[in-house]
Amino acid sequence: MSPPPPPALTQTPPTPVNPRKLLDPVSELDHNQFWIFGYGSLIFKPPSSVAQAVPGYISGYVRRFWQQSHDHRGTPDKPGRVVTLIEREFWKTLGDSEAEFSSTDASNRDARTWGVAYRIKTEDVPAVASALDLREQNGYTIHLVPFYPASSSLIQPIPSIVYIGTPDNPAFAGVEHPDTVARIIHESIGPSGLNKDYLYKLGEALEKLHPESDLDHHVNGLIRRVKELEKQKELEKQKQNGHDANN
């Protein structure tokens, strides 16, 4: 039985921060303390010239594989799926089938989006900025968020830049059933490799990051679904090979 079609957006997406390049928020950040928060591929494929890497989380967002990838894990004709962040208050209006596993309760498994914040070496900020703007060009814009380090020795939040594919960007796929997302990830490939490898590497990175960081129901559920699709494909292949051998 095929999954139901995704529900239409019930509200207008929140107005995003004006799109800007990484070096634009000069007045907001001290370039001697220039931090970038990674919640997707930046966790397992960090930027260059990192002076410090700190595991931790941000609040007020939900991580979802709802961003189309035309240039890395898919193609323009067959885009893959990669993660973006959805503002939690807006996400609650979308009718996500996984909403029952997420709440605003700070103790809930999905209340925090775990990742890694990277402090970039001051002298290399322009080069790293240019590389990341190119890497994240497919629908992502720059936002400033408070990042909370996991270490108890670092109590104060760190102002950090983050790339987000907001719901009004052309590559935003919208609300999709996890079965649909899993099928797309299982089938997609792009210049950066198999879409499923992106998913698996993210899951592995979150598992190693922090005792709480591997409790992302959405990511773990997709891994389980894609691996099941792989098993089904292998069984079909074995069945076909047995059929051919008997003919």
Residue 176 reports pLDDT greater than 60: yes
What is the pLDDT, as a whole number, of residue 128?
86
Residue 103 reports pLDDT greater than 70: no
Three-state SS for 174? coil
Instruction: Write out pLDDT tens, residues 116-129.
Output: 999 999 888 888 88
**pTM for this model (two decimals):** 0.82
51, 119 in Cβ contact below 8 A? yes
What is the pLDDT, as a whole number, of residue 138?
76
Residue 18 reports pLDDT greater than 70: no
118, 52 in Cβ contact below 8 A? yes
Nearest to 216 by CA among 228, 226, 205: 205
For residues 234-241, give the mean pLDDT. 81
Catalytic annotation, residues:
136
206 vs 55: CA distance, rounded Å: 10
26 vs 37: CA distance, rounded Å: 17
Mean pLDDT is highest, among 7-11, 122-126, 222-226, for 222-226
159, amino acid identity: P
Residue 106 reports pLDDT greater than 70: no
CA-to-CA dists, residue 180 to 49, 97, 213, angstroms: 37, 12, 24
Residue 107 reports pLDDT greater than 50: no
Residue 96 reports pLDDT greater than 60: yes
Of residues 123 and 102, more confidence is placed in 123
